[in-house]
Structure 1
Amino acid sequence: MDKPAEMFGRDFEWGELTRFATLPGPRATLGVVSGRRRQGKTFLLDALTRAGGGFMFTATETTETDALRQFGEALARYRGQPTPFRFGHWDEAVTELMRIASPGGPTVAVIDEFPFLAKASPALPSIIQRALDPTAQHTNTPVRLLLCGSALSFMGRFLAGNAPLRGRAGLELVVPTLDFRLAAEFWEITDPHTALLTNAIVGGTPAYRREFAQGDTPTGPGDFDAWVTRAVLNPARLLFREARYLLAEEPELHDTALYHSVLAAIAAGNAARGGIADYLGRKATDLAHPLSVLQDVGMIAHEADAFRRNRSAYRIAEPLVAFYHAVMRPAWGDLERPGRAPEVWHRAQPTFRGRVVAPHFKRICREWARWHASPETHGGQVTRVAGGTVNDPSAKTRHEVDVAVHGENGDGREALLAIGEAKWNDVMGMGHLERLRHIRTLLTARGAATDTTRLECYSSAGFTDELRRLADDDPRIQLIDPLRLYHGD
């Protein structure tokens, strides 16, 4: 199956889906597709069924009886029958679904938004499991059944532990957001600095450009502020309320006020559970459940410290949510009044640069170090990248390391290949390099680093001439600017 010309990227996902769809063999097989909302899962699956002549049913949030009626009507249309199927229960519906393939070859059958059906009919996963049992396969045709859902907490439990379909799926595909390089290409932004700023707001969610911004993109540095006010802070545009809707659409988030408060605390710079609790005026133990739920639904990420395994930090995983809580939520009353966006945006500049762009830039730098930098840049093959803190006993302080690169240095053992500092809008010079050298000395004394551990400076504003001269003569000093982030290794 040829990938549709209008489909951007997704080569890996399309390849896996088409491989599954054309698997030879007479038996029915199961695949599961998941991912956060707005990533193009439905677009992918619709293209797959159209390319292969398959069946696709998109569920809605309704009762079991109504869902069976809708499913029977859709299946009858696909089979070319003049009257719809009248299924009394899902046993009948699944049995009929497993018969749609011709003996000559496999046929794809997609059930999109499957969590809606399972919520109304909790026995449905068990019914599908029974239909896939070897004892029932003699009545099946070679159907390639794909179940798709955006409710990450449900989809995570779907194939875990003692779940009925555990071990039944021949495909478990997660459709991710576009990484920062692909996102810039998708948004057709050629200026790296503008691409970074845009990514700090909308991330790599494809729908935000086409459906939500309706193709409106910042044309360059001079258009970025105007684009924010007309496309993001404009109450008539879809992006304006999207961050609120993302939480409202998650079935696991019952007390949305609490979850919004937790996200606001993280957006304000509180990365540890204790800091979040202090911000909200609650006990740290009270936040175990909301933090766990937000992590399960993909709203936040919980990242271990690179040097202290008993220490970790929370961050908001969806840039638009971080932008909403840092910039939009505090000024929501003003923003709802047409024409106030430019004034609000002007006031919010320090917050945007400090609480949104700066931490996002650090995350992009870690992503580049992990997935885009060459082994020659770090001096070895990378195995993990994270941020971390290093104690300085003599100075009675701690130093933050924005980028800590671990990997194999040639002898097969893990080593600290590089440490780096990331600064947004700061020209980096000798002071930043000396700070990294001091941290390397502290880590070397602990046996965690060596003299060959590289020092990396990440800056969107550039570097002093003295620092550039040193880096030109010493490969252990690496300078990374936005142009290298987007186009170099």
Structure 2
Amino acid sequence: MAGFIGRERELGQLRSRYQSGRFECVIVYGRRRIGKTELIKEFTRDKPAILFSAVENNIGKNVAALSAGIATYRNGTEGNAAGPVPVFANFSDAIEEVFRLAERERLICVIDEYPYLVKADASVSSVLQHAIDRHKDTSRLMFILSGSSMSFMERQVLGYQSPLYGRRTAQIKLEPFDYATARRFVPAMSHEDAAVVYGLTGGVPQYLLQIDDELGIEENLRRNILDPSCYLFEEPAKLLQEELRKPYEYNGIIEAIASGASRFNDIALGSHIDAHTLSPYLRNLIDLGLVERETPFDRPASRKAVYRIRDSFFRFWYRYVPTYMTLIQFGHADVAAAQVMADLPRFMGPVFEGMCRQWLWINNATDAVPFLLLHAGRWWGGDPATQRQEEIDIVATGMDRSQTLYCECKWRNQPTGVEELRLLQHRSDLVPSDDRHWMLFSKSGFTEELVDVAAGDTRVSLVPFADM
């Protein structure tokens, strides 16, 4: 696997802003390992640009680094001889020089890891605000401010109280890749193995790069996830340490959720954190994209909210690594990998549900979907007739809320049959609708009987994994 993969939409957005010729200030943000720097490198590869990555240091060190970036650009465009880099007296002077350089040609100025710069000097955002206000109407500068701290970027850069509020012209939040893009990282793998890789990595680019598509899944598990010396083995602990204070408490919360605690009070009990103080912890994990709060599809304000590990790699790691840690630490990663392989179909169930939801949105407004979808989610609730809890993998509606699509997603080694359709139809009675449609997704295809039933009922659709 080589070259830059994916992010076509984001590259298109950046190129559109660049081609405007006007002043632009684009905010690019997303969690660590998501590919922000690679996206910016790809975008600026053939364009005049000043590149500056802030560091966790004092403002003097950062101004010196920005001065070096300005000097590199000037040496290339003005033919200056290489020599000692003149360091600007302060951040304000450096930014004024950037605007001066952008008077004569289109110029990009990238400030990567912007939160580090503000941490070094809290006045930076105000300085930048005033510089933008002075020059934006006549400048040809394109600013790109990038950051990994999700809460900082959303509240202190994009938020209403930020000095930069109203100065940005666009914002791009990078999310993990979907299955279709993730598969491009492992072209030598089979369709099914590529799906498992997507589940193991959650579509995070840096995690995908650790997978060797010349090896099978079990060998990749042994070498590239369960080996204590490999990159991914220590990744959860490192990410929590980089992003959060008190990482051990967040670790306990994630462990509690991975162990089956999904309700607020159960998570508090399982993590040994007082319920009165748990909310900020969960909010920070949600901001990082590691955890999500979910309510039944038809009850967005429901007290039945549950918390799930959203990041698939974290869900995998916390599901298996603590359980087999002793085996792994004593050199038996091969035994641990074999145990994980036996349980992978269960792990892949929620992953496949996510892939099916992606398929629906990709194929929305085509003949593959019975009507235009606007809302989709998971549903769960009680069945009054059986007194049992039931679940529907995906419920989706459109503009006409009387139309509803109910979906079942099966990741198993045997074909899906009529009994699964009948069960889905029964469950759909619990979320009633005037115009019902049913769709079944299946890793291993469908029985002939079910194919015949679907052929005679336009409200039933079958989607084999091979066609996804």
Q: Which whole-Å CA distance do the structure 2 matches of 1:46 and 1:440 have between them?
A: 48
Aligned partner letter, 1:83: P
Q: CA deviation at 1:151?
A: 1.3
Q: Which whole-Å CA distance do the structure 2 matches of 1:238 and 1:153 have between them?
A: 26
2:189–2:214 contact (8 Å) kept in structure 1: no
Q: CA deviation at 1:453?
A: 0.9
Report what 2:319 is aligned to: 326
Change in Cα spacing, 1:50 to 1:91, as seen in structure 2 (3 Å) is same
Q: Which whole-Å CA distance do the structure 2 matches of 1:394 and 1:190 have between them?
A: 46
Q: Residue 404 of structure 2 is aligned with which of 409, 417, 421?
A: 417
2:262 partner SS: coil
1:46–1:56 contact (8 Å) kept in structure 2: no
Report what 2:265 is aligned to: 274
Change in Cα spacing, 1:421 to 1:74, as seen in structure 2 (3 Å) is same
Aligned partner letter, 1:121: D
Change in Cα spacing, 1:39 to 1:469, as seen in structure 2 (3 Å) is same
Q: Are positions 1:116 and 2:116 aligned together?
A: yes
Q: Structure 1 stretches (4+) deviating beyond 6 angstroms?
A: none
1:425 partner SS: coil
Counterparts of residues 68-147 of structure 1 (less than 5 Å): 68-80=63-75, 82-103=83-104, 105-133=105-133, 135-137=134-136, 141-147=139-145
Q: Could you list the runs of 5+ residues in structure 1 that have no partner in the other structure? A: none
Q: Which whole-Å CA distance do the structure 2 matches of 1:285 and 1:476 have between them?
A: 48
Q: CA deviation at 1:395?
A: 2.2
Q: CA deviation at 1:187?
A: 1.9
TM-score by length of 1: 0.87
Report what 2:431 is aligned to: 443
Report what 1:65 is aligned to: 60
2:436–2:459 contact (8 Å) kept in structure 1: yes
CA RMSD between the two structures: 2.3
Q: Which whole-Å CA distance do the structure 2 matches of 1:468 and 1:162 have between them?
A: 57
Of 6-15 and 122-131, more deviation after overlay is shown by: 6-15
1:36–1:152 contact (8 Å) kept in structure 2: yes
Q: Which whole-Å CA distance do the structure 1 matches of 2:330 and 2:117 have between them?
A: 39
2:442–2:464 contact (8 Å) kept in structure 1: yes
Aligned partner letter, 1:144: M
Report what 1:291 is aligned to: 282
Q: Which whole-Å CA distance do the structure 2 matches of 1:17 and 1:360 have between them?
A: 31
1:148 partner SS: strand
Counterparts of residues 155-166 of structure 1 (less than 5 Å): 155-157=153-155, 158-166=157-165
Q: Which whole-Å CA distance do the structure 1 matches of 2:394 and 2:445 have between them?
A: 18
Q: Which whole-Å CA distance do the structure 1 matches of 2:367 and 2:381 have between them?
A: 26
Q: Residue 54 of structure 1 is aligned with which of 36, 49, 62?
A: 49
Q: CA deviation at 1:33?
A: 0.9
Q: Which whole-Å CA distance do the structure 1 matches of 2:363 and 2:260 have between them?
A: 27
2:373 partner SS: strand
Change in Cα spacing, 1:130 to 1:107, as seen in structure 2 (3 Å) is same
Of 154-163 and 414-423, more deviation after overlay is shown by: 414-423
Q: CA deviation at 1:375?
A: 4.4
Q: CA deviation at 1:159?
A: 1.1
Q: CA deviation at 1:357?
A: 1.6
Report what 1:149 is aligned to: 147
1:169 partner SS: coil
Change in Cα spacing, 1:396 to 1:209, as seen in structure 2 (3 Å) is closer
Aligned partner letter, 1:159: L
2:109–2:142 contact (8 Å) kept in structure 1: yes
Q: CA deviation at 1:137?
A: 5.0
Report what 1:16 is aligned to: 13
Q: CA deviation at 1:426?
A: 5.9
2:101 partner SS: coil
Counterparts of residues 335-350 of structure 1 (less than 5 Å): 335-338=328-331, 340-349=332-341
Q: Which whole-Å CA distance do the structure 2 matches of 1:88 and 1:395 have between them?
A: 75
Report what 1:183 is aligned to: 182
Change in Cα spacing, 1:357 to 1:33, as seen in structure 2 (3 Å) is same
Q: Which whole-Å CA distance do the structure 2 matches of 1:39 and 1:56 have between them?
A: 19
Q: Which whole-Å CA distance do the structure 1 matches of 2:182 and 2:278 have between them?
A: 33
1:463 partner SS: coil
Give CA-to-partner distance per residue, 1:419-472, whole Å, 9 cap, x none.
12223216432322222121223333xxxx12x311222232333332222112
Q: Could you list the runs of 5+ residues in structure 2 that have no partner in the other structure? A: none
TM-score by length of 2: 0.91
Aligned partner letter, 1:145: F
Aligned partner letter, 1:146: I
1:369–1:405 contact (8 Å) kept in structure 2: no
2:262–2:307 contact (8 Å) kept in structure 1: yes
2:182–2:208 contact (8 Å) kept in structure 1: no
1:209–1:217 contact (8 Å) kept in structure 2: no
Q: Are positions 1:307 and 2:304 aligned together?
A: no
Aligned partner letter, 1:192: H
Q: Are positions 1:430 and 2:418 aligned together?
A: yes
Aligned partner letter, 1:262: I
Change in Cα spacing, 1:315 to 1:67, as seen in structure 2 (3 Å) is same
Q: Which whole-Å CA distance do the structure 2 matches of 1:463 and 1:170 have between them?
A: 49
Report what 1:398 is aligned to: 389
Q: Residue 455 of structure 2 is aligned with which of 447, 462, 472?
A: 472
1:49–1:55 contact (8 Å) kept in structure 2: no
